[in-house]
Amino acid sequence: MKFTNGFWLMKRNIDPIFAVEYQDHKYAGGKLTVYMATNHIADRGNILNRPMLTAVFTAPAPNIIRVELIHFAGAYERGPAFELYEEPDKSGFVRFEETADTLTFTSGETSAVIDRRPENWSVHFERGGKLLTETSYRNMACMQDRDTGKSYMVEQLLLDVGECVYGFGERYTAFVKNGQEIDIWNEDGGTASQQTYKNIPFYLSSKGYGVFVDDPRDIHFEVGSEKVERIQFSIEAQKMAYCVIGGADAKDTLRIYTGLTGRPALPPAWSFGLWLTTSFTTSYDEETVTGFIQGMADRNIPLHTFHFDAFWMKGYEWCNFEWDKETFPEPRQMLKRLKERGLHICVWFNPYIAQKSKLFDEGLEHGYFVKKTDGSVWQTDLWQAGMALVDFTNPEAKKWYLDCLRRLLDDGVDCFKTDFGERIPVKDIVWYDGSDPVKMHNYYTYLYNEAVFGLLEEYRGKNEAALFARSATVGGQKFPIHWGGDCSATYGSMAESLRGGLSLSLCGFGFWSHDISGFEQTAPADIYKRWCQFGLFSSHSRLHGSTSYRVPWLFDEEACDVLRDLVNLKCRLMPYLYEQAVIAHEEGIPMMRAMFLEFPDDPTCLYLDRQYMLGDSILVAPVFSDTGEVTFYVPDGNWTDLFTGEAVEGGRWYRKTYDYFHFPVLVRENSVIVFGNNDQRPDYDYAKGAEIRVYHPQEGMEKEIFIPSPDGEKKFPVKVSCKDGEVSVQAPDDPLIRVSIIW
């Protein structure tokens, strides 16, 4: 939201209350409270008839400084609030110092330095004495709108020369967010608009620090788009809290941020295989489904999860959680037959109950739906006729909803696609627990996915739960997997899907997918094959569409060969991929990484959004052209083409043309990648018969990796060193394990 008319003037209806100078402070119990005059206090009379702002500095964890900016402290605040994981004992990392001119509040190695001098209000956020960002002249404020009577808390943090800003959730706009206006408000807008399903009020800077605005409401960001040297954020409120996170680098900042907001659960190994769906509005029954599965088997294309989309239930009755008996008369027996083929089963649903569903009357009778202020149930015809919204703030409603899902798990379903969760009303709405409707708009998806994921963990056990979720807010990364929503069958949409995924990953989401070949429309064979390359080199890989099927032989026979080769390769790469998954789970570092995250000192990598790192060792540059031509950048060092074994010189750009069986997938020097001996499935004994490949070991190399077991345990350490040109590999004592050195 913009409040100014140029740099000097305010909009005609805006009365600003700016922090002007330090007035007083108090420090106790690890909390620093600073009082700020909003005008220069030259004499006693200057304190009269003037507002004051208050800033409270605390430290939830080392290297996090939380600032709560307050106008009226007595303003009533309802929940919900983000679930955060704070360090209970702060005595070991919080320090406070004061001099005549400054106050310094320190968390770990990160400090807020407050200027006490008259008319010099500023807070410098530093790590080890190096400036991260700051707030100063006409930045920290409360803005009052005379026309509406609304008040907005506002902060404007420094956007430094050459600094790039990333994140804010899954955003399909330009990858570098400088110059953009961003509203943190979940919407069902597809992948071709500024709207998005996953809005996260967190941004990551190319300088290595991050900023998290700790509020579920609709936050408005102006990233150099109002004051071009400032990142502004504002909320309609009397209070606002934000955290400056000062990691040693961007990776470390993500570790700290996910330590605060939660790290991803580890998805089961089987979920990394190939998923195939019925598609959305296509006609299908058991014969159709079996035909798809048999067709994949006939072509020797490994398939690991089959997904039933919306019409497994009768139309107009979403959700009743009952199989359409006309199409699937014996669902339990059908699922048994499918599982005997070695498949896992996923089914679709959403948190809405249509009026025609038999569950509607039950939910209406017991008060399980979100209500309006007049006591009636909120309903809409948008999506399903007369649908109501399950109120997950009501414990009984949550139990009722999950009991419906238990029956599906008993039938043999393994996981769920938790679709929707963005169309949450705010006007004249009453929640069971009294939650603030505006805060609940984004937060609803957290309650929805938390409930379903918790049920799966209860049924399947640790590291066996998996969702395919669309909407998310802060903390949603704890409930993987997420996919990118409704994309189209074009190269442009494929590229925007990648931008969205990379932006989301920079907000701590470790596992991410997309609809291979696009959800809307039907791709030509060219795009299908290129999207398969991108999709199988993503953390999770799903073939899904809207009005047409996505089995490869409907595109051309070569698509079958391309898909088969890619699935085989991904299965062989599972020891490496699952190692990276464990890292995402334990450290919060995503599997799919923006280039700058791995190469923060390479200025070229700051702007790259058509390539990425898959884990810490593999560079992937999908093809976005029907000519097969791709332009990509290779950072400094020695690299190896994963497909051909050819050496690739780093520190330069390339423009090459590729067939459908190759594209730029490069391994960086000093990498240790374990290839498994199974190219048919993603879950197997990764150490048995494995090949350990050491790529371009450099003198002085010391590296330790691990070969995980399919349950995520780090069972088999591998140590590699290079000294005097000799490479030493310490690996599990298994004669079947081979070692290859690629120079």
Task: Tell me which residues are annotated as active site.
Answer: 419, 422, 486
- In terms of Cα–Cα distance, which of 704, 698, 706, 702 is closest to 721? 702
The angle that helices 525-536 and 491-505 make with each other, rounded to 10 degrees, is: 10
- In terms of Cα–Cα distance, which of 154, 100, 117 is closest to 36? 117
How far apart CA 430 and CA 364 sit, in angstroms, is 15
490 token code pair = 């074009």
Q: What are phi and psi of 398, to 5 degrees?
A: -60, -45
Tokens 């330069």 belong to residue: 652
Instruction: Please check whether residue 281 is in contact with residue 631, taking contact to mean a CB–CB distance below 8 angstroms.
Output: no
9 token code pair = 């003037």
In order of 45, 542, 575, 712, the CA distances from 706 in angstroms are 69, 27, 9, 11
Angle value at C-alpha 500, between 572 and 446, nearest 5 degrees: 95
E strand map for 214-261: 219-223, 230-236, 239-245
How far apart CA 93 and CA 107 sit, in angstroms, is 6
Tokens 């500095």 belong to residue: 57
Residue 497's contacts (CB-CB under 8 Å, 6 or more residues apart) are 172, 191, 484, 487, 514
What is the three-class DSSP state of 398? helix
- SS3 letters across 442-491: HHHHHHHHHHHHHHHHHHHCCCCCCECECCECCCHHHCCCEECCCCECCH
Give the bridge partners for 141, in sequence order.
18, 154
How far apart CA 278 and CA 547 sit, in angstroms, is 10
- In terms of Cα–Cα distance, which of 673, 671, 724, 719 is closest to 700? 724
What is the three-class DSSP state of 15? strand
Q: How many residues does this entry show for the chain?
A: 743
Instruction: Please check whether residue 360 is in contact with residue 319, taking contact to mean a CB–CB distance below 8 angstroms.
Output: no
What is the three-class DSSP state of 382? coil
The angle that helices 358-366 and 395-411 make with each other, rounded to 10 degrees, is: 150
